[in-house]
Structures are given as C-alpha cells and as structure tokens.
Amino acid sequence: MKILGIKFVPLNVPIQKRLQTLAAGAAISTMIFGGLIGFILLAYVMFYTQYWTIALLYVCWTYILDVKTGETGGRELKSVRSWLWWKYVRDYFPIRLERVPWVKLDPERNYLFCCFPHGILPFGSFSAFASNWGGFQELFPNHTSHLLTLSYNFFMPALRELILSTGMCSSSASSINYLLGYPGGGKAVALMVGGAAEAFNCKPGQYRIILTKRKGFVKIALKNGAPLVPVISFGENDLYNQVNNPKGSLIRRIQEKLKDVTGIAFAIPMGRGLFQYSFGIIPLQRPISTIIGKPIEVKKVANPTQEQVNELHAEFMKQIANLFEEQKYNYLSNPEQTKLIID
C-alpha cells in the first residue's frame, strides 16, 4: 500500500515478522541513542529526584571502581547473550554463520578474528560473536567469543552495562593484549579492523574495506603468537542506502572531520521505518552471511620488527582477498561484477 509516495507495511504481516522488525529497530536505536539517553536519565535522577545518592553511587561505580572492566576481559552474562531479542534480530535479516571447510581452532590457543566490512552497525559480527544465537558456540565450543568496540562506549551510562553483558570489550591495544594473552587459551577476539570509518563506504553491492595502513593488529598478534582469522560478512553493506558522499565532497569532508574530532562516524543511513518501507533508521531486510576463513599461523615474537609486521600484514591482505573471491560466488547475486576494494 502506497500513500503520498510512502510505501506502508501490509496489515497482514505475521506477528513474528513484526517482532523481528521491532528487534532490529531497537538494536540500532540503542546503539545510536542509548548513550545519550543514559546520560540524560542519569543527570535527571541526580539533579531532579530524591534518588541522587543512587545516581552518585552509579557514577562512582562506572568511572572509578568499574572503569577498567572493558579493558580486562569484560563481564559476560550468558543470560543476556541468550536474550530472545538477539534471536529476533538474527531472524529479521536473516543472519547465518559459516566456516570454510576444515577450519578448526586449537582449544589451548587464543585467536584474533579480523572482521570486514564494518557496515553502519556490524549486525553480522554482533550476532556471531556477541550473542548465543549466532552459531559460534556450535562451531567452536571450546572458545569464548568477544566482540570489540570503541573504548568510549564503556563510558556511556546504562549502555555500557548492556554491551559488557554481551561479552564485548574495548578495542584498545591493552584490551586486545589482555585477551590474546589469556592463560590457557580459549579466547576468540573479534576485531572490526577497518573500524567505524568503513561506515562511510557502506553502500549496497559495494565492498570497500580499510586495511592497507591498519597494521597495529598484526603487531599485537605477533607479540602474542595469536593466529589471524579472516572473516567476511557478505550482505553487511546492503542493509542501508546512504546519502551520496564521495571522497572529496563537502558532506564527506564534514563527516571525516567530525570523526577525527569525536571518534564517531556520522554516517547518514537511509533504511526503513517500523510501519513503512520508505525511510527510517531500521536496516533493510537483506540476508547476511558471515564466513570464517582459515586461520593464518602466527609465531610469537616478543619484539617484532617492521619487516615481520609488513610480511604478516601482506599475507593477511592476500588471504582476506582470496576468501572474498572464493566465497562471493556462494553469497552474491552478481559475483563477477563485485570486487573487493582495499584502501
């Protein structure tokens, strides 16, 4: 049904589909607005209610007593990772997790999963590594997965408690070193290597990732002797259209400047709404297939040279490109015309 150019959702859509749409909308809204709402609520309770002592205690907890938790392994709650919310998000697109045949992990080692692309919000990687509905536990039962995110998220009231409960940790070097150096192994650390800057390249049918100058993760892997695992989420960039922002344009320059100042990628996504398909921030309903490639063996080097870093980085670039080329025929509708562009 279309009214005034707006395409509305039919009235006979099953309740399960509506719940899935609501779950996806709640997920993106929480990540975009959750931190701001948390600050507003905290300020309101502290300055305008009789419960200011509770708010003060929470401030002390968040910014003094618990401030390092995101850097030291997080605080996973299996009950939160098993919420039906994440199942509805998975089924909305839907999202599936697969591995290249014969991929196995040594239960006594820690691994660095290097995920591409970031998208507006990495739904594929979140489902795989931050929930118990993505299938990671079934594929690798001896490893606990941790999705990494920017450190500032752990300073957001309320939002930090949610992401900590999913097992998410900071993407800082000290946090990655802590996880990859975990005694006894069993840690699967998922890093969005291209980071939020890749959101600017997020357009349907395009796979443009940021990797050429990203070498810090390679150095950390060498120091810990942690194998690098290439991961690609096909369909991640199809979830939103975006305001046209080619490199060099005024919009792009403003976006990049804001990111340099704040660390936040101010992409302008165009998705759908809860009751219509024409506009909104809810992602479009497109399938996502997250593919785990073969681990690249890494020998531990206490003080890696730049040559060693460059060599391993070149090998990783080769393997991520090979994984894309080999698997795109299974998951893309126009594989011959779709290329992986590495910036």
Say which residues have a Cβ less than 8 Å from residue 218's Cβ, sequence separation at least 6: 228, 309, 312, 313, 316
**Structural domain includes residue 216:** yes
In this structure, are residues 8 and 276 in contact, taking their beta carbons and an 8 Å threshold? Answer: yes
**Structural domain includes residue 52:** yes
- Nearest alpha carbon to residue 297 among 279, 266, 319, 276: 319
What is the pLDDT, as a whole number, of residue 250? 85
Domain that holds residue 137: 8-342
Intra-chain end-to-end CA distance of the chain, in Å: 42
Backbone angles phi, psi at 208, to 5 degrees: -120, 115
**Structural domain includes residue 3:** no
pLDDT digits (tens, 9 = 90+) for 108-144: 999 999 999 999 999 999 999 999 999 999 999 999 9
CA dihedral 218, 219, 225, 228 (to 10 degrees): -10
User: Is pLDDT larger for residue 1 or for residue 101?
Assistant: 101
**CA 84, 180, 164, 160 torsion-angle sign:** negative
pLDDT digits (tens, 9 = 90+) for 33-70: 999 999 999 999 999 999 999 999 999 999 999 999 99
Q: Look at 254-263, 306-315, 322-331 and tell me which has the smallest mean pLDDT.
A: 254-263
Sheet holding 144-149, edge to edge: 95-99, 288-292, 228-234, 111-116, 187-192, 144-149, 169-170
What is the pLDDT, as a whole number, of residue 93? 98
Residue 263's identity, in one-letter code, is G
In this structure, are residues 118 and 198 in contact, taking their beta carbons and an 8 Å threshold? Answer: yes
Q: Is residue 213 scored above 80 in pLDDT?
A: yes
**Structural domain includes residue 60:** yes
In angstroms, rounded to a whole number, what is the distance separating the alpha carbons of residues 310 and 142?
A: 31
- Nearest alpha carbon to residue 231 among 204, 177, 193: 193
Average pLDDT of the residues of the chain:
94
State the total domains in the chain. 1
Tally helices (H) and strands (E) across the chain: 11, 13
* Three-state DSSP state, 72: coil
pLDDT digits (tens, 9 = 90+) for 236-264: 999 999 887 777 888 888 888 887 777 77
- Helices 173-180, 216-224: axis angle to 10 degrees equals 30
* Three-state DSSP state, 27: helix
**Structural domain includes residue 42:** yes
DSSP for residue 272: B
The residue count of the chain comes to: 343
pLDDT digits (tens, 9 = 90+) for 74-97: 999 999 999 999 999 999 999 999
**Structural domain includes residue 1:** no
What is the pLDDT, as a whole number, of residue 160? 97
In this structure, are residues 127 and 290 in contact, taking their beta carbons and an 8 Å threshold? Answer: yes
* Three-state DSSP state, 207: strand
pLDDT digits (tens, 9 = 90+) for 23-42: 999 999 999 999 999 999 99
In angstroms, rounded to a whole number, what is the distance separating the alpha carbons of residues 191 and 8?
A: 37
**Structural domain includes residue 334:** yes
Q: Is the peptide bond before 117 cis (omega within 30 degrees of 0)?
A: yes
**Structural domain includes residue 2:** no
Residue 105's identity, in one-letter code, is L
Percent of the chain whose pLDDT exceeds 90 = 85
In this structure, are residues 112 and 217 in contact, taking their beta carbons and an 8 Å threshold? Answer: yes
Q: Give Cα separations from 174 to 20, 73, 203 (angstroms).
A: 37, 11, 33
What is the pLDDT, as a whole number, of residue 261? 76
Mean pLDDT of 180-208: 94
